[in-house]
Chains A and B, each alone.
Chain A
């Protein structure tokens, strides 16, 4: 009996010693104890796959093509992603001139969306006031445009949209991360940020002016 107890105790200690506690760090992938159908031979996004020459399971669009997608509704009109329309390009149809104003009606929902998207995508560099003092400025981003400068305040909405879509100089393209309607929402919000710095007392409704004077 003594030997039996000793062997049992030793086995328990060895198993606990080798296996450790729950939640301890492990560099090895989890063991799948009954692997039935856990991993099926189907394609999952962003996983390596030897079938394709470049080894990517997530396929990219062939160059120069646009996905056949549901149309955007702009002022009650359907616009498809492949169309040469101001919403898609930021340019007046058939020309290389940028459109002056936002093709979407500027509503409170658009503004709220723009604020949220600005804070996700632009804030790290351009900062909460769009003055180019984002957190990364202190940590090595040398050049960040101050969007409160006159050049950007007078810039057309279309050109700002074009910058978000295609990038410019040191700023990369945000086309993959920000959808077309969200880009226009950001443009609308950016305009509000610029106005907030430029506004004078006379821009404030009369009944609110007395409050601000104090």
Chain B
């Protein structure tokens, strides 16, 4: 009878248990690392139809974001500028450059430039730019150093945790209203706590954590 199960099978239950633990750990670690917006959204950098560079326009030329994204303080939506906004300068600067052919065509015919949208929250999330930028939340908190990017890419996950981390402690992020579009402005850790608390109190900041604030 002793030969029906060879000796090595004594180890089988243990081996199966160890194997299951290993596979389980790998699967958990993998989904924790890969199946969140931190992996799936961050770093998205599509090829744009025109090689427009924020590093040149916002960085080098020092243009304010609101020259182009002019609705950002007034509406939930931050608009992409029309081609006629570009033509304000490019009717003289790089007038015949082939890189701008699409812009000239769009300004002449009214056919929109097919820019690819990068930052996108799901449609069941209600987001609003104006509440944030009028209450001392800078573009840099959610979009990173756009003024250093030749091509825009997403640097923050824009996940629910990301939103809530700030909504729980907004005082760490609030800054003076005239520094909203100054992306290089450094938060001074010494005065930030005091300033943040002051802004939060003075402006009656209520960054809601109710589900219905963002899912309405």
Contact = CB atoms under 8 A, between A and B. Distances in A.
B34 A8 contact: no
A5 to B, nearest CB: 8
A26 B84 contact: no
A45 B114 contact: no
B92 A46 contact: no
B93 A141 contact: yes
A171 B84 CA distance: 11
B43 interface: yes
B91 interface: yes
A94 B128 CA distance: 42
Contacts of B92: 140-143, 170
Interface in A1-29: 1, 4-5, 8, 11-12, 15, 19, 22-29
A39 to B, nearest CB: 6
Q: For chain B, what secondary structure do more than half of its interface residues adopt (helix, strand, loop), or is it mixed?
A: loop
Chain A CB within 10 Å, residue with most, of B23, B40, B155, B178: B40
Interface size class of A (residues with CB under 8 A): 35 or more
A69 to B, nearest CB: 13
A173 B19 CA distance: 70
Interface residues of B, number: 51
A44 B112 CA distance: 15
A116 B182 CA distance: 13
A97 B84 CA distance: 28
Contacts of B77: 45-46
Nearest to A139: B93
Nearest to A141: B92
A71 interface: no
Interface in A99-135: 116, 119-121, 124-125, 135
Interface of B: 15, 19, 22-23, 26, 30, 33-35, 37-47, 61-64, 66-67, 70, 77, 79-80, 82, 84-85, 87-89, 91-94, 110-112, 114, 117, 122-124, 153, 155, 178
A-B residue pairs, 4 tightest by C-beta: A140-B93, A38-B122, A172-B88, A40-B123
